[in-house]
Amino acid sequence: MKLLFVIGLIATAAASISVAQVKNASGKAEREIRQVEEKRREALLRGDTTTLDQIFADEYIVTNQSGGVRTKTQMISDLRSGALKFESADEDDVVVRVYGNTAVITGRATSKHEGRDSTQVRFTRVYVKRMGRWQAVTYQVTRIAQQ
């Protein structure tokens, strides 16, 4: 009977340690994602296509509020040419969820592009960790209806 009790205690302790390790790893991944997100936002505002080229995976796809689809190549090209220029890009209500080597970010974004009115959208961005770094693979936005 004592042996079963000891085995139960060891199993409970091992499970607790395992849960703590998963939470710590998830917390670390969330911090990394938030850092990459800030780098991405700053790079958009500066038109820093070198940084964005590293953050966006080669298969990066954007689905905009009108249902249009843009590739990484198109986004980088538009930023380089000045066809797309951000005056502001702010996000709030941001939630980061980490699932192993994948992270899903949701939130609300308000941005202003040169020559256009500011827009407010809900967004979902997905990151995948490859070879030790997080890369964005997709971004989808939905316009928030004006009440």
For 5-59, the pLDDT digits (tens) are 545 445 454 454 444 444 455 789 999 999 999 999 999 999 999 999 999 999 9
Q: Determine the pLDDT at residue 88.
A: 87
What SS3 class is residue 139? strand
Distance of CA 130 to CAs 47, 100, 102, 111, 138, Å? 24, 11, 10, 29, 15
**Helix-, strand-, coil-residue percentages of the chain, each rounded to 5:** 40, 40, 15
* Residues 62-107: tens digit of each pLDDT: 999 889 999 999 999 999 999 999 888 889 999 999 999 999 999 9
Q: Determine the pLDDT at residue 115.
A: 72
Instruction: Please give the domain boundaries of the chain with CATH numbers for all domains.
Output: 2-143 (3.10.450.50)
Q: Could you tell me the pLDDT band of residue 1, with boundaries at 50, 70 and 90?
A: low
Please check whether residue 112 is in contact with residue 95, taking contact to mean a CB–CB distance below 8 angstroms.
no
Q: What is the pTM of this model?
A: 0.79
- Distance, CA of 138 to CA of 145 (rounded, Å): 23
The 10 Å Cβ neighbour count of residue 34 is 14
Q: Determine the pLDDT at residue 5.
A: 52
Q: Determine the pLDDT at residue 24.
A: 52
Q: Determine the pLDDT at residue 118.
A: 75
Label residue 74 exposed, middle or buried (CB < 10 Å: 0-12, 13-18, 19+). middle
Q: Could you tell me the pLDDT band of residue 3, with boundaries at 50, 70 and 90?
A: low
Give residue 53's identity as a one-letter amino acid code.
D
Q: Determine the pLDDT at residue 9.
A: 46
Give residue 142's identity as a one-letter amino acid code.
T
